[in-house]
Amino acid sequence: MVHLERRMRMNRVSTGIGSIDEKLGGGFPEASSVLLLSQTPSEKRMFAEQFIVTGVRNDETCLYVDFYRSPSFARSHFRRYGIMDEENLVIVDAVSAQVMAPSEEKYVVKDVLDMDNIRGVIQKAFEEEKPERVILDSLDFLVDRYPREIILDFWHHMMTLSKEHNSVFLTLFINWIMEKRELDALERTVDYLLEFRTKRMGKILMNLVKIHEDKELGIDESGWIPFTFESESGVVTYSPRIMVTGSANSGKTEFIQLLCSRSVEDEDGLKGEGVDRGKIDVSSVETEVFGVRGDESFASTFRLFSREVSGIFLILDSTKPEDIEKGREIVASNLEEVPLVVVANKQDLKGALTAEEIRKRMELPDTIPVVETSLTRDGDLCPALHSLLRLMGAA
């Protein structure tokens, strides 16, 4: 408990990604260790770069131990984040010697097959530069070349050095070789585990990160958080989005309110009157749901933002033939072929057309499901939701 209180009071080191800092309580605590882990290649490095760029801009000394990229190539990557004072970026060059190229860096590993050489160069860099932030890129490079005990010994040495110098230490690791038991042991030695993966949702390829924290901090692990790179801001997080559209009075608001009663968070009063917005959990990814009336201007506005939408519910009042005509236009304006499900609503009313009749009238291809609902009678959205998630590849 004393330990916990001490940790909570510690200075926080910003990751440079607003929503991640928020979840971490301001950033990683000083002197903490973080494992960036994935099972397949993913965008872990982008996260590490953002972390370094944030430090460099904050006038902190940042040490980047790179076994994979030449220093000039690494620096060109850092420049994508915009202007910064590169004086604060110290690269331990473990690449030039591998390709027998000269190096202009101050710290150079001459022989990556000599562990004493690696350890010596890094230790010297720690002692002379006293870095606030350190990246090891990466552990898998070493796993391919050294026996397990030697790597673990080296890695613990790195962690000790970081604690001594109050540095936040991030290690990148693609694990395709360690067994679960070994990996668990590795995870237990770090303060934070950040898991990365890449997943396709709709047409969008998402980079996802999930934060697991030191249990002593008493904070639960996060869901999967999608992130991307934007040239102005660097790494940013976002929510996938599902659009609910259809004619006036078809049941959009009712639909969103029922769907989002399973909402994970409600912090900005999402269920208020007239607010067509909510959040749901789609395979552990927080997904935004929003309503847009399918009126005259729909096709032209939709063209502008359709790429940012992962799925569409088209809600029809099944008793209104004019709704069905409007629905045809909406389907026709979905040029990007965003996954779409037609919801044949108000099935409880007399004269409601069946899903099959609607399919015929709209001349829908088999790839677009039509699902009957009666929101005010049973409010069962499961078949509609399941159909869309299947199309989005998320079910």
Residue ranges in contact with ligand GTP by CB under 6 A: 246, 248-254, 293, 345-346, 348-349, 374-376
CB of residue 235 vs ligand GTP: minimum separation in angstroms?
A: 36
Sign of the Cα torsion 16, 23, 46, 122 reads positive
Q: Which does 374 bind (CB under 5 to 8 A by kind): ligand GTP, Mg ion, none?
A: ligand GTP
CB of residue 350 vs Mg ion: minimum separation in angstroms?
A: 23
Instruction: Please report whether residue 254 would count as binding Mg ion according to CB under 5 A.
Output: no
CB of residue 334 vs Mg ion: minimum separation in angstroms?
A: 21
Q: Which does 30 bind (CB under 5 to 8 A by kind): ligand GTP, Mg ion, none?
A: none
Dist. CA 277–CA 289, nearest whole Å: 6
Q: Which is nearer to ligand GTP, 205 or 248 (CB)?
A: 248
Dist. CA 183–CA 35, nearest whole Å: 11
Q: Which is nearer to Mg ion, 69 or 252 (CB)?
A: 252
CB of residue 276 vs Mg ion: minimum separation in angstroms?
A: 6
Q: Which is nearer to Mg ion, 89 or 244 (CB)?
A: 244
Give the per-residue contact string, 198-237, with Mg ion (x = CB under 5 A; - = no). ----------------------------------------
CB of residue 244 vs ligand GTP: minimum separation in angstroms?
A: 8
List, as one string, the DSSP characters of 323-381: HHHHHHHHHHT-TT---EEEEEE-TTSTTPPPHHHHHHHHT--TTS-EEE--TTTT---
Contact (Cβ atoms closer than 8 angstroms) between residue 290 and residue 241: yes
Instruction: Please report whether residue 275 would count as binding Mg ion according to CB under 5 A.
Output: no
Instruction: Please report whether residue 166 would count as binding Mg ion according to CB under 5 A.
Output: no
The phi and psi torsions of 44 (rounded to 5 degrees) equal: -60, -40
Q: Which does 353 bind (CB under 5 to 8 A by kind): ligand GTP, Mg ion, none?
A: none
Q: Which is nearer to Mg ion, 257 or 310 (CB)?
A: 257
Instruction: Please report whether residue 283 would count as binding Mg ion according to CB under 5 A.
Output: no
Helix or strand or coil: residue 283? coil
Whose tokens are 């037609």? That residue is 342
Q: Which is nearer to ligand GTP, 186 or 260 (CB)?
A: 260
Contact (Cβ atoms closer than 8 angstroms) between residue 67 and residue 112: yes
**Strands ordered across the beta sheet of 33-38:** 107-108, 89-93, 62-66, 133-137, 168-174, 33-38, 192-201, 204-213, 225-230, 234-237
Instruction: Please report whether residue 319 would count as binding Mg ion according to CB under 5 A.
Output: no
Q: Which is nearer to ligand GTP, 40 or 376 (CB)?
A: 376
Residues whose CB is less than 8 angstroms from the CB of residue 91 and which lie 6 or more positions away in sequence, other chains included = 63, 64, 65, 66, 71, 74, 75, 105, 107
CB of residue 70 vs ligand GTP: minimum separation in angstroms?
A: 57
Q: Which does 376 bind (CB under 5 to 8 A by kind): Mg ion, ligand GTP, none?
A: ligand GTP
Q: Which is nearer to ligand GTP, 55 or 251 (CB)?
A: 251
Q: Which is nearer to ligand GTP, 249 or 261 (CB)?
A: 249
Q: Which does 297 bind (CB under 5 to 8 A by kind): Mg ion, ligand GTP, none?
A: none
Give the per-residue contact string, 234-253, with Mg ion (x = CB under 5 A; - = no). ------------------xx
For residue 98, the Cα-to-chain-centroid distance in whole angstroms is 33
Six-digit token pair at 326?
Answer: 């409007």
Q: Per this entry, what is the length of the chain?
A: 395
CB of residue 356 vs ligand GTP: minimum separation in angstroms?
A: 18
Residues whose CB is less than 8 angstroms from the CB of residue 87 and which lie 6 or more positions away in sequence, other chains included = none
Residues whose CB is less than 8 angstroms from the CB of residue 350 and which lie 6 or more positions away in sequence, other chains included = 319
Q: Which residue is nearest to Mg ion (CB)?
A: 253
Report CA-CA distances (Å) from 161 to 64, 89, 120: 14, 18, 12
Q: Which is nearer to ligand GTP, 72 or 253 (CB)?
A: 253
Contact (Cβ atoms closer than 8 angstroms) between residue 200 and residue 206: yes
> Which parts of this chain interact with Mg ion (CB under 5 A)?
252-253
